[in-house]
Amino acid sequence: MNHRVDPDSLVPPSQQLVAAILDAIARGELGVGDKLPSVRGLAAEALVNPNTVTKAYRDLEHLGATEGRNGSGVYVTAAGPDVARAVRSAETLHAFREAAKQAVSAGHELVVLQEVLERVLQQRGEREQPGEVRGSKA
């Protein structure tokens, strides 16, 4: 699990970590009962202050995706995968809608936007299924 924080992003580092961990849970990279990295370990990996990781872990627990166990660490809850998929789906669809509105307002042609989306889907398919291109028109 690689959680690098973009220092140039307008999104606060703790929220970048929350999104990355929710994505890992939603993808199944982190499963129910799995232990998250230690605060210090994740801070070193993400190149952030441990307080930033503590805030992210507190936010994840507040969402119900994780739970802290005294002296043991932070673990994915039984509800974690459903919470992660719901939260990230809502956030990413909102961002996608806003980006689409801005692109249309800026005068981009629908065909250009469709081509961009098709390329993204094709790249995703190539990563998931090496040698097989998803969504291609054969």
Q: What CA–CA distances, in Å, run from 128 to 34, 116, 125, 134?
A: 23, 19, 5, 9
For 35-44, what is each residue's pLDDT tens digit?
999 999 999 9
Three-state SS for 48? coil
For the whole model, what pTM was predicted?
Answer: 0.78
Q: Which amino acid is at 92?
A: T
Of the CATH numbers 3.10.20.30, 1.10.10.10, 3.20.20.80, 3.40.50.720, which one belongs to the domain with range 13-81?
Answer: 1.10.10.10
CA atoms within 13 A on the CB side of 7: 4
Report the mean per-residue pLDDT for the chain.
90
Separation of CA 125 from chain center: 18
For 112-127, what is each residue's pLDDT tens digit?
999 999 999 998 887 7
